Structure 1
Amino acid sequence: MNFLYPSFLWALGVLAIPVIIHLFNFRRTVKVYFSNNRFLKQVKEATTAKRRLKHYLILASRLLFLFFLVITFCQPIIPAKNQLTNNHTIVLYLDNSQSMSAQMEDKVRGLDAGVTFVRNIVSLFPPDTRYKLITNDFAPFSNSFKTKSEVLDLLTQVRLSPVSRTMQEVLDRVRHQGHAQQQQEVFWISDLQKSTLGIIPKALDSSAQWRLVPIRFASLANIFVDTVYLENPFAASGEKNVLRVKVRNDGKRDVDQLNLKLTINNIQSGAGTIDVPQGGVAETTFDLATGLSGLNEARISFNDFPVSFDNEFFFALNFTDKIKVVEIKKDNIPTPVEKVYGNKQVFTYQGFAVSNFNYNELAQADLVVVNGLNTVDPSLTNALLDYINKGGTLLLAPGTQPDVNNLKNLAQVPGLNSVPKAEPLELDRPDFSNPFFENVFEEKSTSLAMPKAARLLDLGGDRSAILKFKNDQAFLSLFNRGGKLYILATALESDFTDFHQHALFVPVMYRIAASARRSETKPYYTLRENLITLRLDSVNDDVPLKLVGKEEVIPGQRKVADRVFIDVPKFSVEQGFYDVVSQGDTVDLIAFNLNKEESLMEQYTGEEVKAMAGGGENISIFTATSSGAFSNEIKERYLGTPLWKYALLLALLFILAEILLIRFMK
């Protein structure tokens, strides 16, 4: 135990006063006349013994009263574990991710508690201490040290951020901005969320003192939308479709009859209920009516308390981007390919005779179909190989008399060989477990009538072919060459196959085209992603695109042909919808959602993080679960435990004892 004001101990000299009063009782002698001295002597003996005991007790009470009163003014303390030093630099990391909107046991928001913790810290240290405040936004103010008043002013600007940070990202930020000449103390104020904290380093910088301040929430369960997707993602505008929604339960109890609401363009378009098992995922569907076209803002919403930051899920239903198909054929006669891709609401089709083909068209195409050619000249072969290597998709349907040696240069399939024309064979039914056929067939019938074909090419015994003959030979194969290469084993001519006249032809060709779409705008993006790819035909290269939502943002971007690559400005955008605007015209719609990991509320304890970080002596943990408890704990750590209140209480107790002795002890 130490004293803040030990010089006041000289006042203990006042303890002599009660002793002096006790030894020299200056009361006047009072004569008492009594007829019989014998009786007087007996009374005197009895009362003197009692009076002596009473005086001693009163003297002890007075001495102890004065002693503890003096000790009170000396302000005794139990020494602090951590000492305050001058010219100290303090780094304050305040987690302001969306999960910090949850409530602690005292019903205070985690972020509000964290702000209060920071206020307590800066009010404790000496005036010349400098602070660096770091939040998940990595805002410019975190690049330099601030005074106490500047930090308090910055705290009024802290808001929940859509950005979550791993522990390593924050450590890199602290290390990058550190001052090697000064020993730093780092206060880490966070909910220590398992899903976003990432990989914890096995050891923290030993030159710094790490103070973990966990924000502990009450036992929480959370419901959130895991994903949404269209049953037919390439349906044309106006066509009927089905929206599938997966909902996840992060809690330890089942959720029954959760009400979900679908809103499209601020008009409720559907509602339903769903049961979600504890720790599991449930799926439900919404029918999308016909007539939906253009750019559409859609959201799934529900009520889930107390964690409500993820009660809405945003996604865009855009029906503007068409798949560009280029067919290279032997002449200008219409082909089955032209007919199947003639739906102008879904496809932009161009057909060229091989003798009149401009190679520049390849850069604009999602899918290139080489149809009916027996040979491909070397220059076109090189252009097509370059197209595939850059991620393009090519469908090769041979002519009626294919030159295999020539086609090998393009296909680059070592086992490719020619087969003499034979009688047409029936195709085997599709493998419904193949992802290629996902959502293609409503009924997976084993009695499906299949087309027939006369095989002209041996595709090398492809065991994973998309379609096969009944003798297990490949009819349609897929080869990955950077992009995708589809090869048919026969010509699309009536003398060789009826595949192009069969009901299976359209869904297969649509699926090939769907897989070729290289720059499809996704229904939604998370704020954890870094890049968005858009296909925009008529964009002025000199005028940048804007993202217009709650605020207007000009993101980093670059244009290559008809594609625009946009860097996600994750520090400037929030969850919700943003119009892509070019020269005042809205050309696309993007929906942003929080990172799904942010919705997983399970937390590490401070002890767990310390153990995983090496458990060094330079790591300490604050255990306070409320703002008031944290204030007391940090004062105890840096100022010590004050005992003057207890000394004052004892002083009052002994003066009360003196009063009681005088009043009641006869």
Structure 2
Amino acid sequence: MTFLNPQAFWGLSLLIIPILIHLFSFRWYKKVLFSNLAFLTEIKDQKQSSSTIKKVLILISRLLLLFFLIVAFAQPILQGDLQSDINKERLVYFDNSLSLQQVDDSGEPVLFRSYTALLNVLGHTEIDFKVLDNQSLIDFNGDVNQLSSIQEFSPEKASFERIKDKTELYAISDVLMFSDFQKNSFDLDRIADDTLTSYKLYQSLPKQQNNLFIDTLYLTNDLSYSDSYTIQIRVKNIGNFDVSDALVRLVKEGRQLVSKSLNIVANGYSSLELELKGIEDVYGEYQVELSDVPVVFDNVFSFYLKNPNAARIVLLEEDQSKSGDYLQTLFTNTNYFQLSRERVSSTSVNQLMDADFVILSELSTIPDWLIKQLDEIKGSVLVIPAGTIDYNSYNQLTSSQIYPIDQANSSPISSEVINHPLLKGVLSNDDQKTFDMPNFEVSYGLQGYFESILQTNEGHSVLAQIGNDNLYFFLAPLSEETTDLPKHALFVPVMYKLAQSEIQSPPYYRLNESYVELLADSINGSEAILTLTQGESIYYPSFRFSSQGLVFEIPEEITQPGIYYLVNQYDTLGVFAFNYAIQESEIECYSMEELSALAEVHDHITYQAVTNRVLSNASMNMDQESNSLWKYALLLALTFILIESILLRFLK
């Protein structure tokens, strides 16, 4: 047996007090004269004998009461159990992720409460610890100054995989975890199944869980054909209560452009539109700022609108076609399009390979060489069939079965299919109700794997995407006999979307994404030295070249969101906006009931809810609770209080 608090034995000096009381408990007597004292002397001798025994028993009970009370304060532990613990190193995981910005009852971040609990445990044990937070590993030697860094919030997400890696590396089978236990960070089934490791869970929960963050952002209008631009934003509320009048601000390069407020129901979403007005140059760096406390790490959302490169378009015909005339008129804006109109018999294969958009306009037969080169074309391909086609060559090109429709009626194109992701934002909800859609008379049908982008009210496909490739097919020639679509306002955004689908860059990326694709044909692979920079921070991403251009990995070292520049030596190749992963903003935690139930059914798991800033040794020292003997010493002390009371009351 040994003692965790041996200093308490200084209290044994107090045992002298009941002894002194016993020895010097004299009585002062008053003399009374009697004529005959013989009878009184006999009574005195009998009483004196029984009183001495009573006093001795009371003295012993008082001494034992004080002794066992002092022993209880000394916290005795069985020698064998403690010795095995001293020889066993333990791992302490301290979660300092951004979700611990939530506040407790005192209004302070729960990170501080969790840190107080950690100091409480480490300060009352002689066992060696390795302290692991979300960024570093510390060999704790008893100096609390070593732990100063873990009091700072880390952008790194909590990871159970990281804990397991360290326990396997150092052969540790005893883990103490201090966290709020976010549901998307910890899999309780994995903890429950790992019966070879002992887990002690210390949970610090906020007063109430709530957080607002931007779930989705996109530009509803294509930059190449719209005169007004609208940012569509969806905000999510992680919390059990509604939020009213939350302020949302759109800022470009430090200048506020517009602000709005919105209401969001508990655990729900709310969408709003921010219109860009009075901006000469719509391209550049933007931030959307939310007014939300106390969780502020995801209040700023960055995105970047890039001026798209001019799409390289190759229009292939057998002879000059009516569809070709429409398209040549359509793609006249040289800021966004570079159109090359070619005869299929004289075109260059290399020109097709480099094109962003290839249009096969009213070809009666698809040449064999073009069918073979289709997979090598990196851009999108749109097929506009002729009135009479060679079905065999078309079937080979599309890997589908194309058949004629002889008696199709002209029918309006359905406005509902404008909700297709490719055509997002082409029509507003109000336009869909009032817009007169163009008519289309379908000439051909498709059998195989395809998705309808446009279709008639009767359900016939008008424009289809075939397979998983960027191969698109109109189901009739774009002639006046079959459709008025080329003269309709819908034709412009549909064709612009198809032409630029391969060159538009996403306005933002998440830090948990693996890689980014970039069109960069001018880079010499042997001389490329790529860096990602933000201010004075420089990162070196891994990269490779592909048929689409350049692919680089997002370095794991990047943990801060914001705008980053991709540089090749002195040439800036692109600008990218990175934001936190959605999972980090979803701060929902396991409840105390869930973790308590887990500990009740698994012997290798214990659970403690950290509910106070000032924590007692008894409540926090779960690892010593089963081996400690202080409660038995306290029970014996109470027993001798009872014995003393009985002696004083019943022993004469």
In the TM superposition, what whole-angstrom CA distance separates every residue of 1:369-415 from its partner, at most 9, and x where no partner exists? 1113222221211111454xx7x532111235422222222122224
How many angstroms does 1:598 deviate by? 2.4
Query: Which residue is 1:354 aligned to?
Result: 344
Note the alpha carbon deviations across 1:591-646, whole angstroms, 9 max, x for none: 22222232233321355246558932111112332453165534464384758998
1:2 deviates by: 8.4
Moved more, 4-13 or 361-370: 4-13
Partner of 1:100: 100
Match of 1:279 among 264, 267, 283: 267
Helix, strand or coil: the match of 2:315?
strand
Give the CA deviation at 1:185. 0.7
Question: Cα deviations across residues 255-311 of structure 1 (Å, max 9, x unaligned)?
Answer: 222222111111000111212222222222211125454752212223222222222
Per the TM alignment, residue 574 of structure 1 is displaced from its structure 2 partner at its CA by 0.8
Matched, 1:508 2:500: no
Structure 1 SS opposite 2:370: helix
Q: Deviations over 1:480-519 (max 9, x none)?
A: 32313222233345676554333332122123334x32x6
Aligned to 1:99, the other structure's residue is in SS state helix
- Structure 2: state its 5+ residue gaps: 646-652
Q: 1:8-32 CA distances to partner (integer Å, 9 max, x unpaired)? A: 9999997996598469x7x9x9996
| Distance apart, 1:540 and its partner CA | 4.0
What stretches of structure 1 of length at least 5 have no aligned partner? 658-666
Checking the alignment, whether the CA contact within 8 Å between 2:402 and 2:445 is kept in structure 1 is yes
Match of 2:207 in 1: 218
Equivalent AA in structure 2 for residue 134 of structure 1: L
State how far apart, in whole Å, the 2-side matches of 1:569 and 1:540 are. Answer: 22
Match of 1:441 in 2: 427
CA contact 1:77–1:644 (8 Å) conserved in 2: no
- State the 1:171 CA deviation: 5.2
1:595 and 2:581 matched:
yes
Aligned to 2:133: 135
Counterpart of 1:664 in structure 2 is none
- 1:340 lines up with 2:330 in the alignment: yes
TM-score w.r.t. the length of structure 1 is: 0.79
The one-character-per-residue Cα deviations of 1:315-341 (angstroms, maximum 9, x if unpaired) are 222223444433222358863223323
Residue 173 (structure 1) aligned with residue 165 (structure 2): yes
Counterpart of 1:432 (choices 398, 404, 416) is 416
Query: Residue 531 of structure 1 contacts residue 568 of structure 1 at CA under 8 Å; is this kept in 2?
Result: yes
User: What is the CA–CA distance in structure 1 between the aligned matches of 2:230 and 2:594, rounded to whole Å?
Assistant: 45
2:522 aligned with 1:538, yes or no? yes
What is the RMSD computed on CA atoms of the aligned residues? 4.7
Q: Does 1:491 align with 2:481?
A: no
Could you tell me how far 1:469 is from its partner in structure 2?
6.1
Q: Alpha carbons of 1:452 and 1:261: their partners in 2 closer, same or farther (altered >3 Å)?
A: closer
Residue type at the aligned position of 2:466: N
State the aligned residue count. 627
- After the TM superposition, which of the residue ranges 76-85 and 579-588 deviates more from structure 2? 76-85
1:413 to 394, 397, 400: 400
Q: How does 1:358-369 map to 2 (within 5 A)?
A: 358-369=348-359
For the residue of structure 2 that corresponds to 1:394, the secondary structure is strand
Moved more, 587-596 or 44-53: 44-53
Contact 1:192 1:214 in 2 (8 A): yes
The aligned residue for residue 617 of structure 1 is 603
Match of 1:481 in 2: 467
Q: Report the residue type matching 2:568 in the other structure.
A: S
CA shift at 1:235, angstroms?
1.4
Change in Cα spacing, 1:65 to 1:241, as seen in structure 2 (3 Å) is same
TM-superposed CA distance for 1:170, in Å, is 3.6
Partner Cα separation in structure 2 for residue 529 and residue 463 of structure 1: 28
Give secondary structure in 2 for the equivalent of 1:355.
coil
Give CA-to-partner distance per residue, 1:170-202, whole Å, 9 cap, x none.
4542454242xxx52111222111243356327
Residues 507-554 of structure 1 show CA distances to partners (whole Å, capped at 9, x for unaligned) of 22123334x32x642222222222222223433432232222252211
Which deviates more, 55-64 or 377-386? 55-64
The answer on 1:316 being equivalent to 2:267 is no
Q: Which letter maps to 1:548?
A: T
Residue 185 of structure 2 corresponds to 196
* Alpha-carbon distance in 2 for matches of 1:260, 1:8: 64
Identity of aligned residues (%): 22
Change (3 A) 1:316 1:150: farther
Q: Distance in 2 between matches of 1:447 and 1:14?
A: 101
* 2:72 aligned with 1:90: no
1:468 Cα deviation (Å)? 5.0
Decide which of 231, 242, 247 is 1:259's aligned counterpart. 247
Match for residue 505 of structure 2?
A: 521
Equivalent in the alignment of 1:661: none
SS of 1:548 mapped into structure 2: strand
Q: TM-score, normalised by structure 2?
A: 0.80
Contact residue 414 and residue 437 of structure 2 kept, 8 A:
no
| Structure-1 residue corresponding to 2:650 | none
In the alignment, which residue of structure 2 is the partner of 1:394? Answer: 381
Q: Secondary structure at the match of 2:86?
A: coil
Match of 2:649 in 1: none
Aligned twin of 1:563: 549
Task: State how far apart, in whole Å, the 2-side matches of 1:3 and 1:553 are.
Answer: 53
Distance 1:505 1:203 in 2: 58
Does residue 176 of structure 2 align to residue 187 of structure 1? yes
Distance in 2 separating the partners of 1:7 and 1:101:
43
Do the aligned partners of residues 271 and 631 (structure 1) sit closer, same or farther apart at CA in structure 2, a change above 3 Å counting?
A: farther
